[in-house]
Amino acid sequence: MSKRYKVYTWLGEDYEFEVVEKSRDTVVLKSTRTGRLYRVKVEYPGDKRVVCDVNGVKHTAYISIGEGVFIDYEKVPVSRVTSYSVAVSRVEEKKPARKPVEAPGIITAPITGRVVEVKVPVGASVKEGDVLLLMESMKMVIEVKSPYSGVVEEIYVEKNKPVNKGEPLLKVKLRG
């Protein structure tokens, strides 16, 4: 069973998020519309105020009965939030997983997580086994090493941005 939240605004818009991962103080939400991941970590819970880290950016959330929802001290036009559970159907289970990009020199994300640091710039010469970037998931840091020798041609990701497993991280022009 997967849990989903639907956020309704006074402007007539609605947003839906699915819980992808959950731990004691962190939840990863996925927008059902865009597929974007939001890693939300509650850092300072209080009576009425909560400080959250959302994809590496801190926000203060405050709910006032009768006044509404405030994020970073600005009123947000949220009218209500609902939650519900969704059973995973057999059709969803049998969907083929999105294949990683398969092209010469393309290095893909081995996990779903956040880019902590890009260790090489465009134009850098790399050897097989060199650390290209660091990724973080579930409080573990993973080194992404080059399976190729060559020159870094393109970097597709940025520091502190979430990526899904199989997404291209960078491209290495192979030495021939």
Q: Could you read off the pLDDT of 137-169 as tens digits, one per residue? A: 888 899 999 998 999 999 999 998 899 988 999
Q: Tell me the chain's radius of gyration from C-alpha atoms.
A: 20
Q: In this predicted structure, what is the pLDDT of residue 88?
A: 56
Task: Answer yes or no: is 139 within a domain.
Answer: yes
**For residues 88 and 36, which has the higher predicted lDDT (pLDDT)?**
36
Q: Which of 74, 94, 114 is the last residue of a domain?
A: 94
Distance CA 126, CA 70 (A): 47
Task: Answer yes or no: is 15 within a domain.
Answer: yes
Mean pLDDT over each residue of the chain, to the nearest integer? 84
Task: Answer yes or no: is 14 within a domain.
Answer: yes
Q: In this predicted structure, what is the pLDDT of residue 12?
A: 83
In this predicted structure, the answer to whether residue 51 has a pLDDT above a threshold of 80 is: yes
Mean local confidence (pLDDT), 37-61: 83
Shared domain for 74 and 156, answered yes or no, is no
Residue 39 domain boundaries: 2-94
Using alpha carbons, list the distances in angstroms from residue 89 to 17, 34, 58, 86: 18, 21, 36, 9
Shared domain for 80 and 142, answered yes or no, is no
